[in-house]
A and B are shown apart, each in its own frame.
Chain A
Amino acid sequence: MNATFATLLAAVASAAVTVAAEAAPQPSPSSQGSAIVVQDQASLRAAPRDGAQQQASLWQGEVLEVRGERLDYLQVWDHKRERGGFIRASDVRRVALTEAEGPALLAVMRFVQDTPGAEALGIGLTAAYLQAAPAKALAGVEGAQAFDTLGTFADRLARRASVAVPGKASGATLSAHLDVANGYGVRFATYEVEGRMQVCYEGEAFRRLLAMPVADAEQRARAALALTRPECINPDLPAHERAKLTTWQAEVLERVDVASLPSYLRNRVQMRRASVWGAAAFQQARKNAADPAVAAAAARALTELSGVSKADLPDEDQSAYNDAAMRVSAVRWALVPAAVPAAAPVATAAGARPTLLTVPGAPGETCVLLVDAQHSAKAPLLRRCTYGVVWIASASTNREGTAVALAVQPMEGWRELWVLRKTEGGWLADVLPPAATTPETGVAEWAGWVPGGQQMLVAREARGQGRYRKSFEVVRLDGLTTERVTGDVSALPLFQRWQDPAWKRQTLSLR
């Protein structure tokens, strides 16, 4: 009985000691500070020993609350996983999040800024800096730099995640890094583009940066380029939303002062501007092709593209340059005013040479009428309607009067060539697309007529399914089959001989 009582007393005493130990005042979190994990797959262990059980695997950039030190281990609490443990001190960087530590964090941030693969760590460090730095510093140059860095990290991480990297390990790392970034409030949008996932940074840091008056030109350029990335436009965006987005993108790009930028960065901004203004011109032309705003937007696009210095174009920007050129080329006929009234007397003088007229069809539809001296608009030679934009100024009739070429743009950055030709059974309309691929970006241009009325010259340039192709072709009018094709105009004597001077003067395919 006495023994039982003694045991019970001992148990009660032990419990009291335990409770007292737990109730003992813990060191306050602020005194111990926080720690940012600097290595991937750092182990959070149950005890300060290498052999102890692993609680969790931590990734770079994650923040932990430090609650104590044991040997060369830190006792930490992971608020995200709601789990405590020990982590090796060399796997983390301790931060006190005080104002005095701001410059040091900024220095580390700058160091990590250009390190590939350290985006999550960079985001963690930037977040720590944003918390440590005073409001005055954040409104100044350092703040602009911090937002620029944060945006750069997030954008690079998104691009890294978008590029398909084989291997399970890299996929897991990317997912973990994205998760860490999400934990800091950095948001990403995901779109499905051509059967793969495109991850895009939502861009809040860049927006803040653009609103800061202290941001310098390079930072603004980087921010504007990241915010107007063409691959990050939601492919399912409705047309009117897309038009609004284009307007916004144009405004964002206008905030960049290109005069003080390095040449390669200036080129990038100007190429992006050319693309955006080209898209804006098309979107306005869909509402009213005769609107002066269309010509203004197209002129702006052409000006920006012609401002690109080809000598300062790195290889990685070559594809962007080609894309911008194609987009501007698609709307270049907006710069030429439609000369239908002026062409009428010429047509009369020339006799039976056919001319083109456009009349509105169903809502959103434009009908092209082929008329001549004998056939008025009421009984045209040919009537064909389209939901695309008809660039009537591009109409060109061959010397024999048996074929008419016309540029029609059904989509943004995709311009087709319509060939109306005379056959024994009447006039027929054939359409030559820029490429036989899914329509993305491309231009098919009439480049001249080969005398004889059987062939024509066509310049085609397109990017589809990841491939870019530019060709100069001799096309047979009957069936629009390519007879000869070359990538270089000088290699095709027929092309060189019969190419149209006006086309050669205005085209962007000979850039």
Chain B
Amino acid sequence: MKATWNRIVQTLKGRRSTPLSEAGTEPVLDAESQSPLAADVRGADAPRLNWAYLLPTARTLRWLAAGAVVTAAGLMVYRNPPVQHLAQGDLGVRLNQFTGAVSLWRDGSVWVVPGLHTVRVFSLRDQSYRPEAMRQATGSAPLQSVEGLSLGLDLSVRYALDPNSPAVKAGNLPDNVGADIVEPAVQGLVYKVFARYTVREIFSSKRAEISQIIETELRARLAADGVTLRSLQIGKVDLPAEYRRGMDSLLAEELASEKMRYTLELKDKRVRETELDANADKVRREVAAEAAAREQVIAAKAQEEAMKHVLPFKQRQIEQRQLEAEAERVARVKAAEGSAQARRIEANGEADARQKLAEAEAYRMDRVGKVNAEQMAREGALVTKHPLLIQKTLADKLSDKIQVIIAPPPTNGDFIGAALLGGHRNAQAGAAQAAAVAEDATTTQAVEQ
């Protein structure tokens, strides 16, 4: 097309400047090569415009007609392209009108020859269906329970086309899958299923079961029509107002009962927990006590060991002390014995010595006695022979001790010492007395001097 257009443009250019060259394939080069000259020519011819040139020639008209045809064709092609673009997630089902062959096309472009092909585009994306008519118990098409009560249901069905199913591959899908397949299937199933249950079951106890049944059956039904059920969600159940009130109180009681059950279970578990804690504590304390007792036993054993190590030394010390005491005892006995023996020897010696001394004394006394006796015999004889020797001796002995002798005067006027001397020797005694007095007087004088 571009080439055609260029050609038209070039044609128009050539018409205004110079006649087109015969060689239709070289007009551009020629025009370019001749353009300076053409400019000069235009510059020269400008003041003199030839209006005849403005009228189309037959050749130009032919070209124009051809161009118009081409343009119309192009425009038609542009307006009705033989290619259909499929967005991501779309499924194109192309039907050959002549052969009846069906082909499936996914993302991208598909050739659609007008008059030959027809293409229907389906979305493979998930779609959802929420039946509004059955949402309220007072709605236009509420569900009916087995008791005949109307109830509303917030149902949400999510589905998508299955490109691999035979129905899709065969191209038997209706144009509106939602309205023509899903809705009838859902409504045909839901009303039937809910009619089998009581309101209470629907509301509380059998909700999961109902959901499960609907989901299973609906999945099978839709699968047959090339639709995959992604999920089914049963939301709020709208009950009749009176029933709802009674139901709520009943449920509240059930809940309270249930709660009480759980409370009791919880308390029971708490009791068990306390028991287990107490047991654990008991075990821990037992273990701690056991460990402490063992530790104490070990410490006691260590102490006993230390004591045991001391004992031999103590024993040895005691033995040593005993030996020392024994040795001291023996030493003392020996010393005492020695001392006794020494004393005995000393005593013997003493006795012997004393005997000897006594004997010597006896001998001495004997000898002295004998000598004395002899002396006395001699003195006796001498006294007998000379009686006045006694007085003389007396006077000699008394002379240095006695200065004055007081004697009673003789009655007969005799010498005063006559009583001492004896009466029959007065004569000799008087002379002796006189001599003694004389001597005493001499001594007295000497003392006085």
Which residues of chain A have a CB within 8 Å of any CB of chain B? 238-241, 286, 363-365, 386-388, 410-411, 414, 416, 431, 433, 435-439
Contacts and interface: CB of A to CB of B under 8 A. Distances in A.
Contact of A433 (B291, B299, B303, B306): B306
A414 B306 contact: yes
Contacts of B297: 364
B309 A364 contact: no
B295 A238 contact: yes
B295 A240 contact: yes
6 contacts: A238-B296, A239-B292, A363-B298, A388-B305, A410-B306, A439-B307
Interface string B307-334: 1011001101100000000000000000
Contacts of B292: 238-241
Contacts of A435: 310
A388 B295 contact: no
Nearest to B313: A436
Best-buried of A238, A433, A435, A437 by chain B (most CB within 10 Å): A433
A364 B299 CA distance: 9
Interface in B24-63: none
Contacts of A241: 292
B315 to A, nearest CB: 9
B298 A364 contact: yes
B358 to A, nearest CB: 61
Contacts of A363: 294, 298
Interface in B280-297: 291-292, 294-297
A431 B317 CA distance: 15
A410 B314 contact: no
Contact of B298 (A387, A437, A439): A387
A438 B317 CA distance: 13
A170 to B, nearest CB: 35
A438 B309 CA distance: 10
A363 B292 CA distance: 13
Contacts of A386: 302, 305
A334 B310 CA distance: 24
B310 A437 contact: yes
Contacts of A364: 294-295, 297-298, 301
Contact of B313 (A411, A414, A433): A433
Given A239-B298, A240-B295, A364-B294, A433 B310 contact: yes
Given A433-B310, A433-B313, A437-B310, A410 B303 contact: yes
A431 B302 contact: no
A316 B313 CA distance: 31
Contacts of B309: 410, 416, 431, 433
Contacts of A431: 309
A414 B296 CA distance: 17
Contacts of A436: 310, 313-314, 316-317
Contacts of A410: 302-303, 305-306, 309
B310 A438 contact: yes
A384 to B, nearest CB: 11
A389 to B, nearest CB: 8
B333 to A, nearest CB: 28
A239 B313 contact: no
A313 B302 CA distance: 34
A368 to B, nearest CB: 13
A416 B313 contact: no
Best-buried of B291, B302, B307 by chain A (most CB within 10 Å): B302
Interface in B112-161: none
A-B pairs, 8 with minimum CB distance: A364-B298, A436-B313, A387-B302, A410-B306, A410-B302, A239-B299, A431-B309, A387-B301
Best-buried of A414, A437, A438, A439 by chain B (most CB within 10 Å): A439
Given A364-B301, A387-B302, A411-B302, A438 B307 contact: yes
B296 A439 contact: no
A414 to B, nearest CB: 6
A436 B310 CA distance: 5
Best-buried of A286, A387, A411, A414 by chain B (most CB within 10 Å): A387
A92 to B, nearest CB: 51
A310 to B, nearest CB: 30
Contacts of A388: 302, 305-306
Contacts of A286: 298-299
A371 to B, nearest CB: 23
A439 B310 contact: yes
A442 B298 CA distance: 20
Nearest to B295: A239
Best-buried of A238, A239, A286, A411 by chain B (most CB within 10 Å): A239
B407 to A, nearest CB: 83
A365 B307 CA distance: 17
A286 B314 CA distance: 27
Interface in B194-231: none
A296 B371 CA distance: 112
A365 B295 CA distance: 11
Given A388-B306, A410-B306, A433-B306, 5 more contacts: A239-B299, A363-B294, A387-B298, A410-B305, A436-B316
Nearest to B288: A240
B63 to A, nearest CB: 108
B432 to A, nearest CB: 90
Contacts of A433: 306, 309-310, 313
A439 B313 contact: no
Contacts of A439: 303, 306-307, 310
B346 to A, nearest CB: 43
A239 B305 CA distance: 16
A438 B310 CA distance: 7
